[in-house]
Homo-oligomer: A and B are copies of this chain.
Amino acid sequence: MQPISVDAAPLARLRARLARLGAPLCLGIDPHPDALPSGLPADVGGIETFARGIVEAASEHAVAVKINVAFFEAFGASGIAALERVRADLPGDLFVILDAKRGDIGPTAERYAAALFGHLEADAVTLSPYLGEDAVEPFLAFPDRVVYVLARTSNPSAATVQDLTVDGELLYERVARWVAERWPGGRVGLVVGATRPEDLRRLRDIAPSPAFLVPGVGAQGGELAAAVACCHGTDAPGVVNVSRAIAGASRGDDWHEAAAAAAAALRASMQEVGATLGG
């Protein structure tokens, strides 16, 4: 077992924690006020309590946590204050991803980087590719931090733009190839929400080196195995994000225990897949 240093650079921390846990589970935190367990108020206090509770219950099984900033932004300054508190109290050896999907011109991207990497001290963020390199480079000016550029998302209308055909390949494939060629070395990964195992494998062939952040995976089946498989062998470790299957495991009084049990089961499933890959 490798030692874990809270002060290590983000990717070193991620690698150390992955070596210890044996599963690339990323814990997704997307607290909607209308989907909180019974007993929690549908306000900013409720989402803060819920976010903290899920981290306490389940993060021991996760290498990373991905917080979706929209769910805090919805409450304005008081929501961001809650996010600041939640982030400050996260376990120091977790890899902290702020899911913000920002994308703007250079000077504005620099201010978003100041917000997410500077003020909130994220280890990694998600970014949109639509504005090109200018939207990414200001984030890379923060040493050692990681960005994940959106390639393919898993929402129903993702195909409208992402599946357009560009010179014989799909737009999201072109984006993945661009990212892989433009920023080798592990600091720029890809968000790949494709739920079909064959899509994940094809994109892995097109972009063999960038780490994948795979959201939208259910708890069981071939999708989980394919997602875990595509986390191996890249410049940096990939992670598989699970939100609802953990945070929504129960809306009753047992939500802490249900989240802990769901995370433990997911970690075990991922360990099994990893054992077949490593063997």
**Which residues on A are within 8 Å of B, measured CB to CB?**
30, 32, 68, 70-71, 73-81, 84, 101-109, 111-112, 114-115, 118-120, 128-135, 150, 153-162, 164-167, 171, 174-175, 178
Knowing A104-B70, A130-B129 touch, does A164 contact B157 (C-beta < 8 A)? no
Whether the Cβ atoms of B77 and A111 lie closer than 8 Å is: no
Chain B contacts of A134 at CB under 8 A?
A: 155-158
Residue of B nearest to A78 (CB): B77
Chain B contacts of A174 at CB under 8 A?
A: 164
11 more A-B contacts (CB under 8 A) besides A76-B81, A128-B130, A166-B166? A30-B108, A32-B107, A70-B109, A70-B111, A73-B112, A74-B119, A101-B104, A130-B162, A131-B153, A131-B157, A161-B178
Whether the Cβ atoms of B132 and A162 lie closer than 8 Å is: yes
* Minimum distance in angstroms from A127 CB to a CB of chain B: 10
- Stoichiometry (number of copies): 2
* Minimum distance in angstroms from A126 CB to a CB of chain B: 9
A131-B126 Cα distance, complex, nearest whole Å = 14
Whether the Cβ atoms of A105 and B175 lie closer than 8 Å is: no
Chain B contacts of A78 at CB under 8 A?
A: 77
21 A-B pairs (CB sep. < 8 Å):
A30-B108, A68-B108, A68-B111, A70-B102, A70-B104, A73-B112, A73-B115, A74-B112, A76-B84, A76-B120, A77-B78, A77-B80, A103-B128, A105-B155, A128-B130, A130-B130, A131-B155, A131-B161, A132-B162, A133-B157, A134-B155
Chain B contacts of A154 at CB under 8 A?
A: 105
A44-B150 Cα distance, complex, nearest whole Å = 31
A155-B155 Cα distance, complex, nearest whole Å = 28
A84-B78 Cα distance, complex, nearest whole Å = 11
Query: Chain A: interface secondary structure?
Result: helix
Knowing A77-B77, A77-B78, A112-B70 touch, does A158 contact B132 (C-beta < 8 A)? yes
Q: Which 8 A-B pairs have the closest CB atoms?
A: A132-B157, A132-B160, A77-B81, A105-B155, A70-B111, A74-B114, A77-B80, A133-B157
* Minimum distance in angstroms from A213 CB to a CB of chain B: 14
Of the candidates B80, B130, B162, the one whose C-beta lies within 8 Å of that of A76 is B80
A102-B166 Cα distance, complex, nearest whole Å = 24
